Homo-oligomer: A and B are copies of this chain.
Amino acid sequence: MGLCSGCTNGARAGENPSIRAEGGEMASSIAELISERMDTMPAGERRAAQTLVANYPLIGLKTVADFSQHAGVSSPTILRFVARLGFHNYPEFQAALQDELAAQLQSPLSRTVLEPAPDRGKTSPVLEATLTNIRETFRHVSERQMGEIVARLANPRAKIFLIGGRFTDPVAQYMTAHLTIVRPNVFHLTGQESTWRDRLIDMGKRDVLLIFDIRRYQDSLIRLAEKAHARGVEIVLVTDQWLSPIARFARYVIAGRTAVPSSWDSSAALFVFAEALIGELTRALEAESARRIREMEELR
């Protein structure tokens, strides 16, 4: 017996018009619907969308106040967000999420969840979790989002600043090592906090600040992001699925999966994303970067 396929309030069953994409094509799940429209949303609602896909779908089952607080926006923004998705009110949105969950939990596949793993070979669970994390991370990054970020980074007039937290700064450095080769004006913010802040004076509206930040989120990075944001710098944030508070100031937010059965969180997904960004940017800058690389060779 299907759990409430129309029993609670007679009308809602199948004719939900909200899940139908404007283009005419159906989005099979709300998550897809969101990622389709994420790019066309205003900043606040986009933050709501990002926190929803990052904590899908449970955040959407909580109250509007909880949702809004977790996303760092106000309640009306949440309601405008669900309205933009096509729902007439918040309960209808929640009902759709629950129906989706019900379908998943009822599927015969889910019954095997509690059974031991399919155990493909002798690979460790940590490794499998890491691979899944990477795959999941990329599932939630739309091509358009990727393209826009690359476009920002490809602008030769923009300066690019990179920085990371205690454990993620190596990822920032890894990315810096590559970016400095394919384009000029790439700077890694190193050393002490006071040193970064002095670099703020070099940052302007056209520039980009790329921040890697997973929990525990460092206050120093938040302060830097806030000040940079105040100067109009475009912030690209690569964080974990719980979203660093810097998301508040970020133009683009990438929510990577970091949870693994270990004492540590895994930054592998962030690392692979950084590599993907490097690759895309290199292709976008192909002409210029090739010439640049040739010049560097000669300088040896």
Contact = CB atoms under 8 A, between A and B. Distances in A.
Interface in A97-132: 98, 101-102, 104-114, 116-118, 121, 123-124, 126-132
Interface in A226-274: 240, 258-260, 262-268, 271-272
A165 B266 CA distance: 22
A90 interface: no
A98 B101 CA distance: 12
Interface in A1-38: 1-5, 7-8
A203 interface: no
Looking at chain A's contact residues, the main secondary structure is helix
Contacts of A55: 3
Contacts of A139: 121
A88 interface: no
Contact of A167 (B3, B112, B169, B265): B3
A135 interface: yes
A127 B133 CA distance: 12
A215 B7 contact: yes
Contacts of A173: 169-170, 173
Contact of A171 (B107, B116, B174): B174
A59 interface: yes
B4 A276 contact: no
A193 interface: no
Interface stretch (A42-50, A75-83, A278-286): A278-286
Contacts of A267: 1-2, 174, 271, 275
Contacts of A264: 1-3, 178, 275, 278-279, 282
Given A2-B168, A8-B69, A111-B132, 18 more contacts: A1-B167, A1-B264, A1-B267, A5-B263, A58-B98, A58-B105, A101-B101, A108-B133, A108-B259, A108-B260, A113-B114, A123-B138, A126-B279, A167-B174, A169-B173, A262-B279, A262-B282, A263-B279
15 contacts: A1-B265, A2-B168, A2-B214, A2-B215, A3-B58, A3-B216, A8-B62, A8-B69, A62-B98, A104-B114, A106-B259, A108-B133, A130-B275, A167-B178, A178-B264
